[in-house]
Amino acid sequence: MIDFSEEQRMIRKVAREFAEKELLPGVIERDKHARYPKTEINKMHDMGFMGMTVDPAYGGGGMDTLSYVIAMEEISKVDASCAVAMSVNNSLVCWGLQKYGTDEQKEKFLRPLASGKKLGAFCLSEPEAGSDASHQHTIAEEKEDHYLLSGTKNWITNGKNADIYLIMAQTHPEKGSHGINVFIVEADTDGLTTGEKEDKMGIRASDTCSVMLDQVVVPKENRIGEDGFGFAFAMKTLEGGRIGIAAQALGIASGAYERALKYAQEREAFGVPIYKHQDVSFKLADMATELEASRLLVYHAAMDKDAGRSYTVSGSMAKLYAAEAAMKITTEAVQIHGGYGYVREYHVERMMRDAKITQIYEGTSEIQKIVISRSILK
Ligand code: CAA
Ligand code: FAD
């Protein structure tokens, strides 16, 4: 299908072995108790999974997007909670800093995120600004040599464990989306606090919480880009982030499909392995086809990005399709497992719960349709 390079094949092998050896053993317990995978994330830092596309000059892996997507797929196959921490750090925080940060910002913040076990968070959403992301209520008041940030950010992945937050806030409300700025804020800054960890349906081990800002002083040198660049920064960064989440959806679906395929050959009913019942084999055929279509869209979007082509639409298409397919494939995987699919031990019920979030975050499926339709109708 795609002629992967020797390096890309090696990345898949290493990521798969890592996921099976280091993530699989505790994944059910971490999900059950919503326990944050601190040790596992640290190991992912050690393996170089947290700053894969960052320039080696700043301690990163210097890899292409396709390699990153391959690793995301393999990690997500086993543990989607670890995968979302990886996705946010790589494609939202590191990428945004690398692309738009100054040399000083990169040296101070990007290097530790890529190679120093620091974790990043991307703070765009608010209690009343999710899909309608430009409707920011968080205010960044401009002072002589600093900004004063106040407001609440919602649903922040890596919220409690992040060392570095990228925070979008409104400086010039009269300018609408063009008045928004983006700031680098360190976790130990006075006035920054976090809420309770959310008790979620899926990706339960991942760390999601609110981030509260009360008159947080942010030096001017921590603003990224020109005054008013914050919304464009968020949109540009999310274009790539969506490819990462599409890869997460692909990985979750792929993990569920592989388990269903195996189970259908082992489980017997009416004297034959259940795959010999046509309805089960047809389910597997549909799952395999949708998986293949997801894979092609995800790799295609990654290759667009690597080739310097626009990936706004291909990224949104990949995320839309892969997320919808992940929900269908994981639901069918539970069905093929029958009652066993409904209990934790067989993994597929977790995958079905985990798949749901891929239709919601980094732009809901409906928002992807807005991005795609605007482009084809303009
Ligand atoms: N690049 C650069 N600029 C862009 C842009 C892009 N991709 N998209 C929009 N802009 C600019 C526009 O050009 C426009 O500027 P002009 O007025 O000069 O033309 C300005 O931004 C406003 O754009 P729109 O009018 O298109 O904005 P909108 O209010 O209609 O919203 C939207 C568009 C696509 C719906 C956007 O709000 C959106 O993407 N919403 C979803 C938010 C989202 O994905 N959040 C994810 C949070 S992070 C997360 O979820 C992480 C995680 O879970 C792990
Ligand atoms: P709303 O925007 O209120 O949407 C509600 C429903 O209305 C959805 O079905 C939506 O598709 C639909 N809708 C809204 N507008 C339209 C429209 N114009 N046309 C058609 N349908 C529409 N955000 C961050 O900034 N950083 C993070 O790290 C982060 N991590 C997250 C982790 C988790 C586990 C979760 C649950 C969310 C996370 N988010 C994060 C927030 C996430 O991006 C938002 O939840 C998402 O963008 C949707 O926003 P909302 O929840 O406010 O829903």
The residue contributing the CA closest to ligand 1 atom 26 is: 371
Q: Spell out a b/e string for 338-349, using b for 16 or more CB atoms within 10 Å of the CB, else e.
A: eeebeeeebbbb
Q: Pick from 84, 91, 123, 131 the residue to mutate for probing ligand 2's pocket: most ligand atoms within 8 Å of its CB.
A: 131
Q: Pick from 206, 235, 236, 311 the residue to mutate for probing ligand 1's pocket: most ligand atoms within 8 Å of its CB.
A: 235
- In whole angstroms, give the CA distance from residue 108 to residue 58: 10
Secondary structure (DSSP) of 54-120:
S-GGGTS----HHHHHHHHHHHHHH-HHHHHHHHIIIIIIIHHHHHH--HHHIIIIIHHHHHSS--E
Q: Any catalytic annotation for residue 349? A: no
- ipTM passes above 0.90: yes
The residue contributing the CA closest to ligand 1 atom 21 is: 232
Which helix (H) or strand (E) segment holds residue 146: the answer is strand 146-157
Report in angstroms the alpha-carbon separations of 360 from 31, 57, 181, 324, 349: 19, 35, 24, 10, 18
pLDDT mean for each 10 residues of the chain (378 residues) = 92 98 98 98 97 97 98 98 98 98 98 95 98 98 97 98 98 98 98 98 98 98 98 98 98 98 98 98 98 98 98 98 99 98 98 98 98 95
* 236 in contact with ligand 1, CB cutoff 6 A: yes
- In whole angstroms, give the CA distance from residue 48 to residue 245: 19
* 88 in contact with ligand 1, CB cutoff 6 A: yes
Distance 122 CA to ligand 2 centre (A): 14
* 363 in contact with ligand 1, CB cutoff 6 A: yes
Given the structure tokens 């939202």, which residue do they identify? 92
pLDDT of the residue at 2:
84
Secondary structure (DSSP) of 272-341:
EEGGGSHHHHHHHHHHHHHHHHHHHHHHHHHHHHHTT---HHHHHHHHHHHHHHHHHHHHHHHHHHGGGG
Distance of CA 376 to the CA centre of its chain: 26
- Residue from 98, 114, 45 nearest 75 by CA: 45
Distance 263 CA to ligand 1 centre (A): 43
pLDDT of the residue at 378:
82
What is the pTM assigned to this prediction?
0.98
Running DSSP on this structure, what letter comes out for residue 217? E
- Residue from 369, 334, 372 nearest 252 by CA: 334
- In whole angstroms, give the CA distance from residue 48 to residue 42: 10
Running DSSP on this structure, what letter comes out for residue 156? E
- In whole angstroms, give the CA distance from residue 230 to residue 124: 10
pLDDT of the residue at 1:
72
The residue contributing the CA closest to ligand 1 atom 18 is: 178
Q: How many degrees, rounded to 5, is the angle at CA 255 between CA 241 and CA 304?
A: 35
Q: Which domains does the chain have, with CATH numbers?
A: 6-119 (1.10.540.10), 121-231 (2.40.110.10), 237-377 (1.20.140.10)
pLDDT of the residue at 22:
98
